[in-house]
């Protein structure tokens, strides 16, 4: 498939110009464009420029507020609340992270609840940021009810990703960001665009039967990873990032969209942990134990989470560009 090379600046400009020309204000466009460039430079195509289609469609449907100013609310507790007020989540999350960091260091554990946001993005950049501040972090979001529970035949759960980060001092943090579905929704859409069959066991058709046809999967439901184990984790995400913070489940988000192909509308929870406080002053010993565990894993030839992304980031930064399909680029320019 023909490829085209884009520099980080070209990625940002393509995203920013597309967003501002379709109704997003400068602040939101800058935040989204920077985020998409980060993901694209990490070779995460499913959450890079490809997500512009969802951002634009959501704006064209007249639902997202492209100029909404988030409201950050806090008190003397360890809870920070960020009301996105109907905008894309990124500005609200960015506005709440400094207070979350401060509260985690004060109390040992703190939580950021982001409400009333349209969400399309990966979770790892936010938890990686916290880990580089010396905190461990956990983040979760629901989505639309695209995923069938284990043993079910139709969507009831979201793709419901969980992201986790562990600080490692001057070394890149340990970070993972995984959907509790067997595949991310964006990956199925990329398979459909490229005309490739899906792996076995990741999707059901509209009749609830297994399928490898990405088009049939888009009309049916996705499967959780690991059967009942992934299904249970997905249910946990629904509760933690929905009712717990006073926001929507994936079923409610899908009903709210009324069948429109737009970004899910729901909430997000981020929890930060301070090893210095929680270890009772034994953070250095705890870090040594963690590093010994990491060394054992690496010594067996296994890869730690995020190592491939960090390698892609370094490679793409060094050469100064990434490659995307020419057909994708042409479709993006047409926006």
Residues 96 and 207: their CA atoms lie apart, in Å, by: 43
| Residue ranges in 139-221 assigned as alpha helix (H) | 185-194, 214-219
Q: How far apart are CA 111 and CA 14, in angstroms?
A: 34
The structure tokens listed for 235 are 């249910």
Q: Is 296 a known active-site residue?
A: no
- From the list 12, 47, 144, 266, the catalytic residue is 47
d(CA 24, CA 218): 28
Closest to 253 measured CA to CA, from 115, 59, 126, 48 = 115
What is the spatial distance between Cα 244 and Cα 112, in angstroms, rounded to a whole number?
A: 12
Is 77 noted as a catalytic residue in this protein?
A: no
Is 28 in contact with 64 (CB distance < 8 Å)?
no
CB atoms within 10 A of CB 318: 7
Catalytic residue among 28, 46, 144, 238: 46
Long-range contacts of 14-18, Cβ-Cβ distance < 8 Å, separation of 24 or more: 14/49, 14/332, 14/333, 15/49, 15/52, 18/52, 18/56, 18/332, 18/335
Distance CA 125, CA 99 (A): 17
CA nearest 274: which of 21, 147, 133, 105?
Answer: 105
**Among the options 126, 128, 133, 187, which is catalytic?**
187
**Catalytic residue annotation:** 46-47, 187
């Amino acid at each position: 498939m023909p490829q085209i090379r884009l520099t980080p600046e070209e990625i940002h400009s393509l995203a920013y110009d597309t967003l501002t020309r379709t109704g997003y204000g400068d602040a939101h466009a800058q935040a989204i464009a920077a985020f998409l460039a980060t993901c694209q430079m990490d070779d995460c195509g499913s959450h890079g420029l490809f997500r512009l289609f969802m951002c634009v469609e959501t704006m064209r449907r007249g639902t997202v507020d492209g100029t909404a100013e988030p409201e950050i609310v806090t008190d003397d507790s360890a809870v920070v609340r960020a009301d996105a007020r109907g905008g894309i989540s990124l500005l609200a999350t960015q506005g709440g992270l400094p207070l979350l960091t401060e509260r985690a260091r004060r109390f040992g554990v703190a939580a950021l609840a982001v409400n009333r946001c349209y969400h399309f993005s990966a979770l790892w950049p936010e938890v990686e940021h916290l880990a580089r501040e010396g905190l461990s972090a956990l983040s979760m979001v629901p989505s639309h009810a695209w995923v069938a529970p284990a043993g079910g035949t139709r969507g009831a759960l979201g793709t419901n990703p969980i992201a986790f980060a562990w600080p490692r001092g001057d070394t890149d943090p340990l970070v993972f960001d995984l959907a509790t579905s067997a595949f991310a929704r964006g990956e199925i859409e990329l398979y459909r665009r490229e005309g490739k069959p899906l792996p076995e066991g990741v999707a059901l058709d509209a009749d609830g039967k297994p399928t490898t046809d990405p088009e049939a999967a888009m009309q049916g439901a996705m499967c959780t990873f690991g059967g009942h184990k992934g299904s249970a984790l997905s249910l946990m995400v629904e509760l933690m990032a929905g009712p717990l913070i006073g926001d929507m489940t994936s079923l409610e988000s899908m009903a709210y969209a009324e069948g429109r192909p737009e970004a899910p509308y729901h909430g997000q929870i981020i929890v930060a942990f301070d090893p210095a406080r929680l270890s009772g002053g034994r953070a250095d010993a705890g870090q040594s134990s963690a590093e010994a565990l990491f060394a054992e894993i690496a010594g067996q030839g296994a890869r730690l989470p995020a190592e491939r992304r960090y390698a892609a980031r370094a490679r793409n930064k060094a050469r100064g560009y990434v490659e995307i399909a020419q057909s994708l680029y042409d479709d993006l320019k047409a926006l």
